[in-house]
């Protein structure tokens, strides 16, 4: 009973906080229930039985990065979260695309900001992944032209909702993206269920300044440079600035905080937890890497081509 009451109170708090800096709006009862479920999903424990795999740019074993097939595959294979990047078109539509330019990943050239959405529709995503995929489970030629167009923010949110995945958004720029993202989160009834990430800390500061109370996630974070600012923002998760292959090495001085030096990376995660932060490493693309992250106490595992179904088989 106490647990149910706590979840209900938290959901109501999220519903109230989500209106800060936005048009006055009270989510319907269904939206409040969704928020309560989302809080449970975001804050659930990370375990081998239920690993919190964050599908980086979708499940790239099943489709090109940031494509509809990759997003849908992440949902179907049981990913905890689906990560994508937001960019804005010339006519103010937010789309899912990592690079500022089209050249690397699509049949187009030039900057996304110089095209309208209708103009972008004529381009197709190429057979491109951000890392080599050793266990590729798709044939590029099997995808239709419609499946290979650049997804919009709304399409991405609908896929996350359909499969019950946490939307894990990386901001690459502002220029109106944060404002449109906040409107879409409310429109889709996803208040309190998203995680907003960025490498530049000023984008996360801007997110808070514009009234967004979703969990924020700082990528490549180090305690000595970033933790004081993050503490002031609240509701924080971090991706610690260490490579997977270095997790057995001594912890460098950049992880010192307020005179405390973590003795190892498990202790660094413990320090984050004491500060109220969620924490992870990048990235876990094998069962062994997932087990290592779990052993160290990580709260989730970003992965490019790892997927939950395969993890459970091991």
Q: Domain of 149: which CATH number?
A: 3.20.20.190
Residue 62 counted as domain residue: yes
Active-site option among 56, 97, 217, 226: 56
How many domains are contained in the chain? 1
Burial 204-215 (b: 16+ CB within 10 A, else e): bbbbbeeebbbb
Task: Please report whether residue 7 resides in a domain.
Answer: no
Q: Tell me the CB-side half-sphere exposure of residue 276, using CA atoms within 13 A.
A: 11
Query: Is 261 in the active site?
Result: no
pLDDT of residue 17: 36
Establish if 16 belongs to a structural domain: no
DSSP code, position 134: T
What is the reported pTM? 0.86
- Residue 50 known to be catalytic: no
Residue 75 domain-assigned? yes
For residue 16, what pLDDT is reported?
32
Residue 4 burial by CB count (10 A; 0-12/13-18/19+): exposed, middle or buried? exposed
For residue 49, what pLDDT is reported?
81
The confidence score (pLDDT) of residue 19 equals 28
pLDDT for residue 63 = 96
Q: Is residue 15 part of a domain?
A: no
**Does residue 28 form part of some domain?**
no
- Domain with 72 in it: 37-313
Task: Judge whether 303 lies within some domain.
Answer: yes
Q: How many other β-carbons are positioned within 10 Å of the β-carbon of residue 42?
A: 23
pLDDT at residue 45, rounded to an integer: 77
Residue 284: the pLDDT is 87
Residue 276 lies in a domain: yes
- Which of these is catalytic: 97, 98, 217, 218? 98
Full pLDDT tens readout for the chain, 314 residues: 444 444 333 333 333 333 222 232 334 444 444 444 555 566 667 888 888 999 999 999 999 999 999 999 999 999 999 999 999 999 999 999 999 999 999 999 999 999 999 999 999 999 999 999 987 889 999 999 999 999 999 999 999 999 999 999 999 999 999 999 999 999 999 999 999 999 999 999 999 999 999 999 999 999 999 999 999 999 999 999 999 899 999 999 999 999 999 999 999 999 999 999 999 998 888 889 999 999 999 999 999 987 655 544 44
């Amino acid at each position: 009973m106490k647990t149910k009451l706590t979840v209900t109170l938290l959901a109501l708090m999220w519903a109230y906080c989500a209106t800060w800096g936005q048009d006055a709006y009270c989510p319907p009862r269904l939206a409040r229930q969704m928020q309560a479920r989302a809080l449970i999903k975001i804050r659930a424990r990370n375990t081998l039985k239920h690993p919190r795999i964050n599908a980086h740019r979708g499940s790239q074993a099943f489709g090109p990065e940031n494509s509809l097939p990759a997003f849908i595959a992440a949902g179907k294979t049981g990913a905890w979260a689906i990560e994508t990047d937001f960019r804005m078109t010339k006519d103010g539509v937010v789309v899912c695309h990592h690079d500022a330019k089209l050249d690397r990943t699509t049949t187009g050239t030039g900057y996304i900001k110089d095209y309208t959405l209708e103009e972008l529709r004529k381009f197709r995503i190429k057979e491109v992944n951000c890392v080599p995929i050793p266990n590729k489970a798709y044939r590029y030629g099997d995808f239709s032209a419609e499946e290979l167009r650049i997804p919009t923010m709304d399409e991405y949110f609908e896929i996350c909702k359909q499969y019950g995945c946490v939307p894990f958004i990386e901001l690459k720029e502002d220029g109106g993206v944060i404002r449109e993202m906040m409107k879409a989160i409310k429109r889709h009834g996803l208040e309190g269920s998203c995680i907003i990430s960025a490498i530049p800390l000023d984008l996360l500061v801007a997110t808070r300044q514009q009234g967004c109370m979703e969990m924020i996630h700082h990528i490549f974070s180090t305690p000595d440079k970033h933790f004081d600012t993050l503490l002031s923002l609240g509701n924080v998760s971090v991706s610690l600035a260490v490579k997977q292959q270095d997790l057995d090495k001594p912890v460098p001085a950049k992880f010192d905080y307020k005179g405390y030096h973590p003795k190892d990376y498990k202790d660094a995660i413990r320090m984050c937890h004491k500060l109220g932060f969620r924490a992870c490493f990048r990235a876990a693309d094998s069962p062994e890497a997932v087990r290592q992250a779990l052993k160290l106490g990580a709260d989730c595992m970003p992965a490019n081509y790892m997927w939950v179904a395969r993890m459970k088989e091991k």
